[in-house]
Structure 1
Amino acid sequence: MTKKTYRKTLSANDAGETKSHQAGMLIPKADVEFRSFLGDLDPTIKNPRRTIHCLDEHGEEIELQFIYYNNKLHDETGTRNEFRLTCLTGYLRQSGAKSGDELELSKDEGQEFFKLRLIANSHSDEDTGETSNRIVLRGWRRIH
């Protein structure tokens, strides 16, 4: 059985620290591998979505939404043409997520549920023990 695992380092915006409203985590259009991992969305439909059924590290069920906001392709005045993973705010707040922590999403081939977990980052230098505010931001990256 094949397992695929992806991680994303959370930005302050992802973790809700900026108090701004966003429509979920951006998934770059060029990241075809990760989008394929989440499942196909039909671009001929306006704003197609699919439900991603997850189990968190405590066995709780969480439903995420993988959405292709594509009104730019369907409406004369549309402006959006982006992929997002939404419905994470409650989980991230409950888990105490902070910028620099990592969100992990994995799935075993043939299984219905994805696995979702938060990996806390100590945010401190191992030698000095001082906290660092510098975070290297990246998109979703394949781990396994």
Structure 2
Amino acid sequence: MSTLEEHVDVGVPIDEAWAGLHRVGDYPRFVEGVREARTEAGGRTRLDVEAGGRVRELEAEVSDRRGERVMEWHTTGAPELLGSFSLQPIDQNNTRVQARLEYDPNTVRETFGGPKGFAQANAIERLVRSDLQHFKECVEQGR
């Protein structure tokens, strides 16, 4: 498994950033490739993701450690992906959003296509950074 950690500082209070992470229907606005996202019973989320020229449905289980402001998730089928978002207040009006993603590079490449090795790791890093930047824009514009 490979682990990627990235963060972005957003210009909103921690409660607004937390609420933004939980608006699953907004995921297509800031997560590259997500065409539709919906919440289902039992803490499950379904995502229709377009990658490598095809659309795949992913299901993830999501859980919160609300007191710690940590949202954890993992896919329930292939590809196996694990992740979390941790929120830390910078001050009253700014929040750091830390994203952590654990994945098997070969499984991701087999599922979604794309380059191998170091090139794939760079592509995933760019994608996560871009998604975090889009999240920042989304929550800051929602004010």
TM-score scaled by structure 1?
A: 0.29
Relative contact order, CA 8 A, sep 6+: which one is greater? Answer: 1
Structure with more strand by fraction? 2
Structure with more helix by fraction? 2
- Structure showing greater radius of gyration is 1
